[in-house]
Structure 1
Amino acid sequence: MTSARTASRRPAWAGRNYTLLTAAAVITSLGSQGALIAAAFAVLEAGGDGGDVGLVAFARTLPLVLFLLIGGAVADRLPRHRVMVAANALNCLSQAAFAVLVLAGEAQLWQMMVLSALGGTGQAFFSPAAEGMLLSSVTSEQAGRAFAMFRMASTGASLTGAALGGALVAVIGPGWVLAVDAAAFALAGALRAFLDVSHIAPRPPGTGLLADLREGWREFTSRTWLWAIVVQFSLVNAMIVAADAVYGPQVARDHLGGAGPWGLALALYAAGNAAGALLMTRWRPRRTLLVGTLCVFPFALPSAALAVPAPIAVLCAAMFVSGLSIEVFGVSWMTALHQEIPEDKLSRVSAYDWFGSVSMVPIATALAGPAEAAVGRSAALWWCAGLTVAATAAVLCVRDVRNLTLRSKQVVKGAAEVGPGSADAEGSAGRLG
């Protein structure tokens, strides 16, 4: 009876896998948002500067770029949940070691870079598998609502995690926050181990890794809207990460009062995410990519607010609007992928998407410190804002981005259609998570 009552409180399309993955995403979002703040302040408390913060961020994103394509091919070949669990285990161990070093007061820059690189490697294998799980889980009629509900749950957890993370870093130090993140990865991995992927048809034998990658590349390059937006986000993501991961903590330390106010700003960003996801549960724009791309322009607002630097209230407002806009884009993007990409190629296409979207991030984080030294922090932040706007304006010139529309009746692509209310519905991570 307890099981029946629990099921009755879920939407009809939220099956067992979807529920497990949503719970796992909530847990990791609670931990990872605090860990982002903790890692930056661990570097600063160890005597590092903005350049060192950038190097640690670079160390995490470089293996993410290097291994994403392999991760996508592996996720389309092996059971996706096993890939996700293995990646979670690696993230757990690397964050636990990071926490021990910080708590012992012996963390050195090279050690933090190595451990961050291990975390990035885990993310490289996790992200394509997780996105493929979500995209293969629901019928297209419910896809937008399912993606929005998933993102609303995870970003609501991000809101709480950012607020608690900033406060805990200020009160008990970054080491304990990193330890909490390690425990969150362990628990999330345990939940994902119970996922059921029996409805996904096994890949036929005989093709190798390179053949899989070539097939994914052909699928990726055959759609102008797909590669154009990925190229756009190669620049946009680089600017966002440089502003938020490198410059943001320094602006907070020098002008806003430290980790607590910066955590509040990140919490307002997560609140915007939740509001955007709630909006997308009820709104299904017909020209989904056009609407989503127009919502990329507000991504530049936090960089501009940090460049001034604006008071914390103005920064929080900019973060909220940016968070709402990014969620509208994220759901629109996932809906378009679900409609257009065959199920057996989802993880490989997702890997090319992630690869392109983060390819410039290591360069941006590595150059953030030298750029600050060359032109000043404020000017560097204005460049972040300006390049975000320019890249978004350019992609609107692509006809397929403006004209791609949702079809009223669609089917799930793959071996068999899986009803969204069945026990085979699944969830995934967000594009910028």
Structure 2
Amino acid sequence: MNITTSWEALQDKRFRWFFVARSTSLVGTSMAPIALAFAVLHVDKKASALAMVMTGRTIALVVFLLIGGVISDRMPRRLVIQMSHGLTALTQGFVAWLIISGQATIPMILVIECINGAVSAFTMPSMQGLVSQLVEPRLLQQANALMSFSRYGTQLLGPVIAGIVVAGPGAGWALAVDSATYVIAIVALARIALPAAVRRTSSMVADLREGWHEFASRTWLWVIVVAFGALNAMQMGAWGVLGPYIAKTNPDLGVRGWSLVVSAQAAGAVLTTFVLMRTHLRRPLRSGMIGVALMAAPIFVLGVQPATLVLVPIALVAGMGMEVFGTGWSVAMMENVPEHAQSRVWSYDMLGSFIAMPVGATVFGWLAAAADPRTVLAVTGVAYLVIALGTLLVPSVRNLGRVSSIAAKEDSLVE
């Protein structure tokens, strides 16, 4: 496969405009946590205030996620995304104005961010369901690799922009920039032409039931989602909570070393997107779960040898493995779940993840106080490996291949 072919998905005007819209909004999304954190702390310097705002946003997201999946399958997904982006632009812009004008209060910010969380519950299933409508089936892996490149790239760029703006004009102006990115994304999405959505006459309850059937009838799908309930809880707790704690208390790592480790993980994912644009995964879930298992290594090493020079290369490889799973999972879902049920099935998948992460943060916070954190990390690393590789004992996970016609076309493009 030559270089031109590896970017073939972007030659389709519809996907190209979607890529522009998604990349632009992701810049805002990656800026938001830093901008919002400093905005809240500008109003109330207590960490509990920030925790309350972030928890409220997450709860609203979880509550509305399944409804978001139903709406995204009933209405044109482009329209759902545009409406969601419009509400996000308005709410983030309003918070920005409140901060800049000095009128913000924590209750005001909490209410607005709960609205933002609810809006995200419609955006995310629509985004995932829309990709398969924009590119040929044989280009799904490449398109998803490109989206991953955009996501990880903006995760590196967005916080830098947010930090510069927060340190300069202030957190309110950073939120204003975040708001503007969604306006630009709305304009880009308007350039995408799609066939009219099929009108559904069934009730929302019937649609939810149908989505559950599509989810539960595929063993490989629910096995992976259940496994990731545990894996996401472990990763959030061990990597997201105990990681910074160990870094701060260990002179061989430190805050600067930890930032390098996290950046290395993201860099590994970015590098892998280039490989996945030019090759294809014959067994996307088998490759993906082997890739996921690599994350066990940095969690384990963080417990037994928390040193920057040791962790950076291990985190780099783990990031590569996680991206293999991310792209493989998206391809498996988009090829094997009917287009009319895509958003609902994605919403069930996302629900498992979003519930697991705060649970993991809470449990591991308690474990860190009740036991030696480094021992907890070492044990977690082993458990993570066992669960990740244990999914391969399920035949449909281990053997799920690509749709034969798509695989044949991809083979013809490989040199």
The TM tier, using the shorter chain, reads 0.7 to 0.9
1:402 maps to amino acid: R
The structure 2 residue matched to 1:227, chosen from 214, 222, 226, is: 222
Identity %: 34
Distance 1:410 1:373 in 2: 51
The structure 1 residue matched to 2:185, chosen from 188, 191, 194, is: 188
Alignment of 1:130-169 (within 5 A): 130-165=127-162
> Aligned residue for 2:60?
63
Consecutive unaligned residues of structure 2, counting only runs of 5 or more, are: 408-415
Q: 1:18 to 1:410 in 2, by over 3 A?
A: same
The structure 2 residue matched to 1:25, chosen from 6, 17, 22, is: 22
Measure how far apart 1:110 and its partner are: 5.0
Distance 2:34 2:248 in 1: 12
The answer on whether the counterparts of 1:235 and 1:360 sit within 8 Å (CA) in structure 2 is yes
The structure 2 residue matched to 1:78, chosen from 50, 75, 80, is: 75
Q: 1:118 to 1:82 in 2, by over 3 A?
A: same
Measure how far apart 1:226 and its partner are: 0.4
Distance 2:65 2:49 in 1: 25
Confirm whether residue 331 of structure 1 aligns to residue 327 of structure 2: yes
Distance 2:52 2:225 in 1: 24
Confirm whether residue 404 of structure 1 aligns to residue 405 of structure 2: no
2:213 maps to amino acid: R
2:25 maps to amino acid: T
Distance 2:237 2:131 in 1: 29
Confirm whether residue 276 of structure 1 aligns to residue 283 of structure 2: no
> Aligned residue for 2:410?
none
Distance 2:303 2:97 in 1: 35
Q: 1:328 to 1:182 in 2, by over 3 A?
A: same
Q: Which has the higher contact order (CA 8 A, sep 6+)?
A: 1
Distance 1:104 1:264 in 2: 37
Measure how far apart 1:324 and its partner are: 1.9
2:351 maps to amino acid: F
Measure how far apart 1:269 and its partner are: 3.3
Measure how far apart 1:357 and its partner are: 2.6
Distance 1:53 1:126 in 2: 24
Q: 1:106 to 1:73 in 2, by over 3 A?
A: same
> Aligned residue for 1:48?
46
Alignment of 1:102-117 (within 5 A): 112-117=109-114
The answer on whether the counterparts of 2:9 and 2:135 sit within 8 Å (CA) in structure 1 is no
Measure how far apart 1:215 and its partner are: 1.0
Distance 1:273 1:403 in 2: 24
Distance 1:308 1:168 in 2: 39
Confirm whether residue 126 of structure 1 aligns to residue 129 of structure 2: no
Measure how far apart 1:186 and its partner are: 2.6
Distance 1:27 1:331 in 2: 20
Measure how far apart 1:121 and its partner are: 1.3
Distance 2:364 2:92 in 1: 24
Measure how far apart 1:147 and its partner are: 1.7
TM-score by length of 2: 0.82
Measure how far apart 1:202 and its partner are: 1.1
Give SS of 1:202's match. Answer: coil
Confirm whether residue 208 of structure 1 aligns to residue 203 of structure 2: yes
1:33 maps to amino acid: S
Q: 1:58 to 1:138 in 2, by over 3 A?
A: same
Q: Quick check: 101-110 or 295-304, which moved more?
A: 101-110
TM-score by length of 1: 0.79
Confirm whether residue 289 of structure 1 aligns to residue 302 of structure 2: no
> Aligned residue for 1:360?
356
Q: What are the Cα deviations for residues 115-174 of structure 1, in whole angstroms up to 9, with x where unaligned?
A: 433222121101111111002322322221222123223322332224444566567765
Q: 1:156 to 1:289 in 2, by over 3 A?
A: same
The answer on whether the counterparts of 2:97 and 2:172 sit within 8 Å (CA) in structure 1 is yes
The answer on whether the counterparts of 1:167 and 1:263 sit within 8 Å (CA) in structure 2 is no
RMSD of aligned Cα (Å): 3.6
Q: 1:96 to 1:156 in 2, by over 3 A?
A: same
Alignment of 1:302-381 (within 5 A): 303-304=299-300, 310-312=306-308, 314-367=310-363, 369-375=365-371, 378=374
Give SS of 2:404's match. Answer: coil
Q: Which one has a larger percent helix, Structure 1 or Structure 2?
A: 2
> Aligned residue for 1:425?
none
Consecutive unaligned residues of structure 1, counting only runs of 5 or more, are: 1-6, 412-433
> Aligned residue for 2:233?
238
Measure how far apart 1:66 and its partner are: 1.6
Distance 1:332 1:20 in 2: 23
The answer on whether the counterparts of 2:302 and 2:377 sit within 8 Å (CA) in structure 1 is yes
The answer on whether the counterparts of 1:29 and 1:155 sit within 8 Å (CA) in structure 2 is no
Q: 1:316 to 1:170 in 2, by over 3 A?
A: farther
